[in-house]
Amino acid sequence: MIWNGSNECMSRDEMRELQNRRLRTTVERVYHNSTFYRAKMQELGIMPVDIETIDDLVKLPFTVKTDLRDNYPFGLFSAPMSEIVRLHASSGTTGKPIVAGYTRKDLSTWSEVMARTFAAGGCTRQDIFQIAYGYGLFTGGLGAHYGAELLGASVIPISAGNTEKQVQLMTDFGTTALCCTPSYALYLAEAIHDMGAQNKLKLKYGFFGAEPWTNEMRRELEEKLHIKAYDIFGLTEVMGPGVAYECEAQCGMHINEDHFLPEIINPATLQPVKPGEVGELVFTTITKEGMPVIRYRTKDLTNLMYDDCSCGRKTVRMHKIMGRSDDMLIIRGVNVFPSQIESVLLEFGETAPHYHLYIDRVNNTDTFDIHVEVRPENFTGDMTSMLNLGKRIEARITSVIGIRPHVKLVEPRSIERSTGKAKRVTDNRKLY
């Protein structure tokens, strides 16, 4: 279902006009209300009047994560604190957290884009919606909450964790839609199985995001939970979840470009790439009031698709994130993305989708170990076939990435599960 027909199906020309107007308003706003952006623009000798259309975006400076950290907590806000009605912060694993501030209108925008997201997957006010994203400073829980509520679904604000209770409520309340990280969804699937609840559930849809996940992981979740699994994309700096979402065609994610203007740049040259080319995703918010961001570099790699989508929406689509320019590992001189490893493991299907990468340096050479859990149903008791499985996985990974890992088969449940974003890499090398 299309939640907002006029905006989601607007023609390219009309969208451009809308974006032009909104960009001009936003540039005015940040120039006059944010010392940070005014200083940046003055450095480049740019005035708001120099920005007339979205083609003028290239004249504007970029914003990066460290800008938010360096101006912690409220340095990037463009509204006085009296107008900020909500503060969120993302976990700062290194350094200070990223803080976002929202005005009342921002919260309304956020609910709107989230309602579009869930409606696109088929949710209606008849659905029973279980939100297993953490509620609190993390944007996932409350973001999903207000969107599902606007949509009219019956929201269960259970937050993350307390897995047994999650399954109990799923069974007792007849949950039809689940929203959480894909790795937690896998954990829930295991718990559902352990508790023998598989046939007692009414799950129909899953909306998963906040961490990267492959199409193979999608198939795994759809099979295990008997649902249709939808990808959702967002980031705290731009809003939270709700920046982009899949429709029933699942051919990339529609970006809510009437609110978040996307660009793809070459991360090395910082220039816009040719249409359709892969590069770094950049966003300019054009309706946010509390903390608008100009040309925010996400470090996520993808490409944009402007061709027609069978769902009828005309908004531009982004491909599933292909990797991050900073999650990328360089092992023995070769670029490796954890998602490549995940794809191979899930393609094989003979091990569980739980793995962890260990990288170290021994005698000046990088070592690369992959721990992957065996699947009880694939254990024949035969040593040869187990060793063989390890070797076959090693061979396939080698052909995909170009270097050979050591694959170690480990017992089921021995790799740490997470209720939020899964940490799949331990890099013990001291590289900097």
> Are the beta carbons of 397 and 405 closer than 8 angstroms?
yes
Rounded least distance, CB 284 to other proteins, Å: 50
Give the Cα separation of 91 and 288 in Å (integer).
22
Give the Cα separation of 155 and 127 in Å (integer).
9
Rounded least distance, CB 382 to other proteins, Å: 7
If binding means CB under 8 A, how many residues of this protein chain bind other proteins?
17
Give the Cα-Cα-Cα angle 296, 300, 306 (nearest 5 degrees): 85
Note whether 414 binds other proteins by CB under 8 A: yes
SS3 helix, strand, coil % of the chain, rounded to 5? 35, 25, 40
- Show the site string, 64-103: x = touches other proteins by CB under 8 A, - = not: ----------------------------------------
Give the Cα separation of 157 and 310 in Å (integer).
33
Nearer to other proteins, 45 or 381 (CB): 381
Nearer to other proteins, 178 or 374 (CB): 374
**Residue 102 CA: distances (Å) to CA of 69, 79, 171, 376:** 18, 9, 35, 48
Rounded least distance, CB 397 to other proteins, Å: 16
Count Cα atoms within 13 angstroms, Cβ side, for 89.
11
Note whether 172 binds other proteins by CB under 8 A: no
Note whether 58 binds other proteins by CB under 8 A: no
Residues 340-399 that bind other proteins (CB under 8 A): 374, 376, 379-383, 386-387, 390
Stretch that binds other proteins, among 83-91, 300-308, 310-318, 404-412 (CB under 8 A): 404-412
Nearer to other proteins, 62 or 358 (CB): 358
> Are the beta carbons of 348 and 393 closer than 8 angstroms?
yes
Note whether 411 binds other proteins by CB under 8 A: yes
Rounded least distance, CB 376 to other proteins, Å: 5
> Are the beta carbons of 358 and 426 closer than 8 angstroms?
yes
Rounded least distance, CB 415 to other proteins, Å: 11
Note whether 410 binds other proteins by CB under 8 A: yes
Strands of 154-156's sheet in order across:
154-156, 128-131, 177-180, 205-208, 228-235, 240-245, 253-255, 317-318, 304-305
Interface residues with other proteins (CB under 8 A)? 374, 376, 379-383, 386-387, 390, 408-414
